[in-house]
Amino acid sequence: MKVPPISDQRVCITGAAQGLGAAIARAFAARGAELVLMDIDVHGLAALNAALGGTATVIPADLSDATACRQAIGRMKAAGGPVDTLIHNAAILRPEPFDQVSLDTYFATVNVGLQAGFLLAQAVWSGMKARGGGALVFVSSQSGIKGFADETAYCAAKHGLEGLSKCLALEGADHGILSCTITPGQAMQTPMSEQNYPPELKARWVDPAALAPAFLTIAETRSPAFNGQRLNAWDLSNRKETTQ
């Protein structure tokens, strides 16, 4: 099936109220996509939607809660047709020594990062199969590649996303469904990085808007070369070597 242009796509973006998610939303809006934006930040979502002209479907939701996530999915389905591109960007990072991580923090982190990704992908899967394809994009990081001290729950969530994406790439290939993870590939200035980056990273960070073109490329090409891969948003945005 020919990949529809972005202007004909329905795109769901989680963690859309700020940072990278908001930058991705702006990039897709500029290309005329129909947007579904999810985030726990009600006011941030409203402000972004107003800046985009008020045309997006805005769904405030606590994605750490399975029931709330399913309710958000129900609202997404009720508001329009099948999703062509899912970008799961939402995440929680609360750095703490392992012996101080509470079970609540662990589950909140893993549920937002991994459980919500699973539920959202499963929700859009049948629609993508019926339409002959789609793109599932899971935002990962270096924490999905290696371990970091004080990031037990976050690394577990990101490593889980890597495995989920690889499995979906295999199962979706015959249906035209692309699944991949994508790392920023460059330090970026976001509220999360404001809180967690050391000075040396802050000295060279970039606006997340510089990484948004990578997401457009994945959605508009669905290149088989991307399927099951971990992509580098900085390099893909600048058309360099894409896998890492």
Spell out the domain ranges in the chain: 6-184+218-228
Give me the mean pLDDT over the 144-158 stretch: 96
The two beta strands, 34-39 and 134-139, are: unpaired
239: exposed, middle or buried (Cβ count in 10 Å: 0-12, 13-18, 19+) = exposed
The CA-based dihedral angle spanning residues 116, 210, 191, 61, taken in that order and rounded to the nearest 10 degrees: -30
Check if the beta carbon of residue 87 is closer than 8 Å to that of residue 233: no
| Model confidence, pTM | 0.93
Average pLDDT, the chain: 93
From CA 184, how far away is CA 10, in angstroms rounded? Answer: 23
What token pair was written down for 237?
A: 């945005």
From CA 197, how far away is CA 201, in angstroms rounded? Answer: 6
Return all residues near 43 (Cβ < 8 A) that are at least 6 apart. Answer: none
197 is catalytic: no
The CB density around residue 38, as the number of other CB atoms within 10 Å, is 28
Architecture of domain 6-184+218-228 in this structure: 3-Layer(aba) Sandwich (3.40)
Band the pLDDT of 239: cuts 50, 70, 90: confident
Give me the mean pLDDT over the 221-243 stretch: 87
Q: Which of 28, 125, 138, 154 is catalytic?
A: 154
Give me the mean pLDDT over the 214-218 stretch: 98
Give me the mean pLDDT over the 6-34 stretch: 97
- Which percentage of the chain shows pLDDT scores above 70? 90
Return all residues near 197 (Cβ < 8 A) that are at least 6 apart. Answer: 187, 205
